[in-house]
Amino acid sequence: MNFLVIVLASQLLYYLLIAQTGVVGAFDSHIHDLYTLPIGGLIGSLMSAYWRHFNIRTELYFLFGIQIIISWFYPDYSLGMLLVLGFVVGYTTPLMLYIFRSQSTFQLALGLAISYAIGTALYTYPFGERGNIAIILPLVSVAALRFSHVNHIFDREKSSFHWGVLAVMMLWIFADSALFETLSRSGGMDIWRMYPWIIIPAHLFGVFLAYRYGGELLGQTRIIWSLFILSYILYWIKEPLLLSVVYPIVISYYNVLLFQALIRLANIRLIALSMVGVGWIASSIANGVAIEHRLWIAASVLGIFGIIYPIYYRRIS
């Protein structure tokens, strides 16, 4: 049993069920009640980038302990507590991705498959009643970390970094988050409540496709873009059944490749700085688009990218 997979899966579930959907749902998406959450995430990611990490296991124990304490008060969070919650998530994620560099693509795919399957199954659980889930998940992380092997030798050399890859990552997160948040606020198209037992195998199929045939993230741009465009079309023509198949596949497919690309950076600072753009800036803008019912903005960005990218690709080929 690879317990690092359990740590990764439980932390992804904490983000999906508590930080992303639970808190936002409990506060009815009111920005003035939530704005400190992404601010805390930005601060946490930046702190993770520039802090000198000597014992990553100890840091993770401390962060998971803070998660447990905060979870006791769920969902009655003040702006200050949301700031701390965002900080913990923002600080923890780069460390988790960094220590996962010693794992295979299969282990990464397995962790994502577990989180998507359980997260989808629990999505309909009432937002305001997820307190027990919020406590159990970091407890699982602590227990699994106890039996995990964590490499304490940190890479000091500079890793190569391509801004174009980060821009593509941010685009996929933006397109995904905008559509997800729009669907979750749409009674007639909330596919997670309507077709969870179709979405789960679709997620697993997407993870399998990425593991078996995915390759590098940038090399799969046309496939991911096409699947996103199809997902947006299915939303606008109101085909929730077909959307519940296509959309989860593209979510799982691109996320396996995105996480793989971040892990391969093998440098905490580069991972953390990438997460500032991918995990907080892109997703926060997408949330604003969804809350203001401006999904056409995300569709327009995808459309413009579809025109520009082939020209850019020919220039660098």
Q: Cα separation of 139 and 87, whole Å?
A: 19
Record the tokens describing residue 33, joined without a space: 């009640």
Provide φ and ψ at 83, rounded to 5°: -60, -45
- Residue 150 is predicted with a pLDDT of 79
Q: Which residues of 2-30 are buried (b: 16+ CB within 10 A; e: fewer)?
A: bebbbbbbbbbbbbbbbbbbbbbbbbeee
End-to-end CA distance of the chain: 43
- Residue 152 is predicted with a pLDDT of 61
* Alpha helices (runs of H) in the chain, residue ranges in sequence order: 3-14, 22-26, 31-34, 36-50, 56-71, 79-99, 105-122, 131-146, 163-184, 191-194, 196-209, 221-236, 240-263, 268-275, 282-291, 295-316
Record the tokens describing residue 105, joined without a space: 């693509």
- Residue 54 is predicted with a pLDDT of 84
- Residue 292 is predicted with a pLDDT of 86
- Residue 163 is predicted with a pLDDT of 76
What string of pLDDT tens digits covers the 317 residues of the chain?
A: 689 999 999 999 999 999 888 888 888 767 777 889 999 999 999 999 998 888 899 999 999 999 999 999 998 899 999 999 999 999 999 999 999 988 899 999 999 999 999 999 999 899 888 999 999 999 999 999 999 887 665 554 455 667 788 999 999 999 999 999 999 888 788 899 899 999 999 999 999 999 998 888 988 999 999 999 999 999 999 999 999 999 999 999 999 999 999 999 988 999 999 999 998 999 989 988 988 889 999 999 999 999 888 876 655 44
- Residue 86 is predicted with a pLDDT of 94
Record the tokens describing residue 125, joined without a space: 């659980």
Q: 279 vs 90, 177, 284, CA distance in Å?
A: 8, 10, 8
